[in-house]
Amino acid sequence: MANYKKLREDSFTIIELIIVVTFILLFTGFSVGYYAQYTEQKKLESTSHRVSSLLDLMRAKTISGDSSLCGMADQTTAKVEYFSFSIINGGEYSLQPKCVVGTPTPIYYLTEANIIFPTPTLTIPFFSVSGGSTCNYIYIKNTSLSGASACRYVKVSSTGLISEDSCTACDACPTTCP
């Protein structure tokens, strides 16, 4: 009888178990929701970094006069004028050479699910001598996010410098170059 009494005092009641399981389920539910939002935010940042890296590559290719995408077997006769970044539609973008001699071969890229470019068509060329460009913004939006974390932008300055940042809201992204 003494063992039964000791066992009963050291055990949990069904009410205590239900309360603990309820808390565990609640915390798990909140964690899954935040993890999904975190994953979507990282997809947006990843796309922003890829666009920024592609713009850096295009600038370097323009300055060096890389004519490897001008479609000629003899690279000494192929000549590139400049490279440009183009948004073809909401979820596709490309690196496009402007060849003086040769046939251009653009490289196309697709964005991940839910990532779009709100500006449907945009072309940013880099100048061959200076590597500069026309000052422009490339906006990137994740349609599954809302609020301050839904948009990012990549800025190409007139000197060809590339920077990226987030916006407080999609409507609050910078629209004019300083």
Give the residue, 109 or 12, on which the prediction is more confident. Answer: 109
Q: Is residue 29 part of a domain?
A: yes
Q: Is residue 165 part of a domain?
A: yes
Q: Would you state the pLDDT for residue 60?
A: 86
Q: pLDDT class for 7, splitting at 50, 70, 90?
A: low
Q: Would you state the pLDDT for residue 74?
A: 63
Q: Would you state the pLDDT for residue 37?
A: 85
Q: Would you state the pLDDT for residue 149?
A: 74
Mean pLDDT over residues 161-171, rounded? 80
Residue 167 has pLDDT above 60, yes or no: yes
Q: Is residue 44 part of a domain?
A: yes
Q: Is residue 76 part of a domain?
A: no
Structure tokens of 39? 């994953």
How far, in Å, are 8, 80, 116, 159 from residue 3 at the CA level?
9, 90, 67, 83
Q: What is the pLDDT of residues 73-122, one digit of tens each?
A: 665 667 788 888 888 877 888 888 888 888 888 989 988 888 888 876 77
Q: Is residue 53 part of a domain?
A: yes
Residue of 131, 67, 132 lying closest to 98 (CA atoms): 67
Q: Is residue 104 part of a domain?
A: no
Predicted TM-score of the model (pTM): 0.77
Q: Would you state the pLDDT for residue 50?
A: 93
Q: What is the pLDDT of residues 34-65, one digit of tens each?
A: 888 889 889 999 999 999 999 988 888 888 88
Q: Is residue 85 part of a domain?
A: no
Structure tokens of 22? 């309820």
Q: Is residue 92 part of a domain?
A: no
Give the single-character DSSP code of 126: B
Q: Would you state the pLDDT for residue 52?
A: 92
Burial 15-46 (b: 16+ CB within 10 A, else e): eeeeeeeeeeeeeeeeeeeeeeeeebbebbbe
Q: Domain of 26?
A: 11-61+112-172
Mean confidence (pLDDT) of the chain: 82
The count of structural domains within the chain is 1
